[in-house]
Amino acid sequence: MATEIIATGKAVPARRVTNDDLARGEWIAATKIDTNDEWIRSHTGIGARHIADEDTAASDLALEAAKQALVMAVGWDGTGNGAASREAAIAETALTLDFIIIATVTPDFLGCPSTACIVQDKIGAKNAAAMDITAGCTGFVYGLETAAGLLSINKGRKRALVIGADVLTKVANWNDRGTCVLFGDGSGAVVVEKTGNPSEGPGKRGLLRTILGADGSGTEYLINRRGGTRNPWKTGEIVDIPPHLEMDGRAVYNFAVKAVTETISRLLAEEGASSGAALTFNDLAWIVPHQANARIVQAAGKRLGIPEEKFFLNIEEYANTSAASIPIALDEMNRGGKLHKGDLILTVGFGGGLTYGGNLIVW
Ligand code: UT7
């Protein structure tokens, strides 16, 4: 029994803001940032980001990504395939879902209700349980493993929708040029299904292995201090700056390079040991890293002797979309014909918590 990704989808806001736009203060009248394209590109690889408007929340982007994945899952091609319309195809497929998991650090509401419940209602997935996962930018990696676990222990359950959705620009401190230029908004979604294919041995398919880890001693390195029960808003308090992410960039950078390096090495070594045939990066079609900073990926690649072309990077267009970055990349690769049946791919993420992890998948 394998857990396979059978469909993908993505959504990013229409508003595209380049590094130059930020420096000129042209994306929002009040905010001119003391930065420039050269600094952002050379330090991060970011060229642009997509920024949600005031009325767009995480669930709106998650909903659109989910719809795209559901349409792909049912194979609706605009001409029929059983469903009368795109909406009908979405509604039909939604009813086949057993779980909806959304990884996010920017939910519509603080704690309750979950963003997953909002999406569950909007797509009409009446048979699905729904919950959010908070694991920072590693959230999608956690979500995939959680879905696979839930499907494997529930005999009658077959399908899950796993989404990464974040609207980090709403929790960015636009007065801190060291962080605000890094973020973008978006969502990526996958439909995963329990299939009759083997998950090990010859012809193995789907999610083969996952590493999940955390280092809570690094909570201070990436933190949104206000609004939770540790530090709630007080009656009458005057707020001069909205809740926002604070980051120790250097500390996260060091953690990230180590996390990426070790996760890739461990996934290959552990899968090789269990299957009895050593695996190297040459066996991988792609490594799909969390898109936080191209320099992190380059540094990890250099340590492991892995050429840059092995890593799929789209950070130049989307910046850091947190839990959405890996599923957005998967959707772009999938729709762009970069993924072929049988390809071995490795995802690797890191982020607030601190957390890290990776999945090894036969596509
Ligand atoms: O999803 C996980 C989330 N976070 C991450 O992965 C972030 C990990 N960390 C990083 O990617 C890097 O640490 C950053 C990109 C955030 C920063 O790069 P850095 O090379 O560590 O720069 P720095 O913070 O040491 O700053 C170097 C200089 C400073 O100027 P001085 O003091 O040397 O004169 C900063 O003030 O660059 C300046 N600077 C900027 N200049 C222009 C910082 N931000 C900017 C900016 N534009 N946006």
Residue 132 tokens, joined? 């959010």
Atom of ligand 1 nearest to the CA of 179: 16
Residue nearest to atom 43 of ligand 1 (CA): 178
State in Å: Cα 301 to ligand 1 middle. 21
State in Å: Cα 44 to ligand 1 middle. 9
Q: How far is CA 349 from CA 143, 182, 295, in A?
A: 12, 16, 14
Partners of residue 287 on adjacent β-strands: 311, 346
Cα separation of 164 and 320, whole Å? 12
Query: Residue 310, by phi and psi: left (phi above 0), alpha (psi -120 to 50) or beta?
Result: alpha
Atom of ligand 1 nearest to the CA of 181: 48
Q: What is the pLDDT of residue 227?
A: 87
Contacts of 285 (CB under 8 A, 6+ apart): 339, 340, 343, 344, 345, 363
- Is the C-beta atom of 177 inside 6 A of ligand 1? yes
Q: Do you know the residue count of the chain?
A: 363
- Is the C-beta atom of 351 inside 6 A of ligand 1? yes
Cα separation of 292 and 290, whole Å? 6
Ligand 1 pocket test: which of 33, 43, 296, 315 has the largest number of ligand atoms within 8 Å of its C-beta?
A: 43
Count CA within 13 A, CB hemisphere, residue 251: 14
Strand ranges across the sheet with 2-11: 2-11, 185-195, 159-167, 99-103, 129-133
Kindly give the confidence (pLDDT) of every residue in the chain, 363 residues in length, as a single tens digit, with 9 standing for 90 and above.
899 999 999 999 999 999 999 999 877 655 788 999 999 999 999 999 999 999 999 999 999 999 999 999 988 766 656 677 889 989 999 999 999 999 999 999 998 999 999 999 999 999 999 999 999 999 999 999 999 999 999 989 999 999 999 999 999 999 899 999 999 999 999 999 999 999 988 899 999 999 999 999 999 999 999 989 999 888 999 887 888 999 999 999 999 999 999 999 999 999 999 988 899 999 999 999 999 999 999 999 999 999 999 999 999 999 999 999 999 999 999 999 999 999 999 999 999 999 999 999 999
By the 8 A CB rule, do 60 and 22 touch? no
Tracing tokens 């690889």 back to the chain, one arrives at 45
Atom of ligand 1 nearest to the CA of 295: 11
**Choosing from 19, 320, 334, 359, which is the catalytic residue?**
320
**Choosing from 137, 180, 244, 359, which is the catalytic residue?**
137
Q: What is the pLDDT of residue 146?
A: 98
320 catalytically annotated: yes
The answer, as to whether pTM is greater than 0.85, is yes
Q: What is the pLDDT of residue 30?
A: 57
Amino acid at 234: K
Residue nearest to atom 47 of ligand 1 (CA): 35
Tracing tokens 């090894």 back to the chain, one arrives at 360
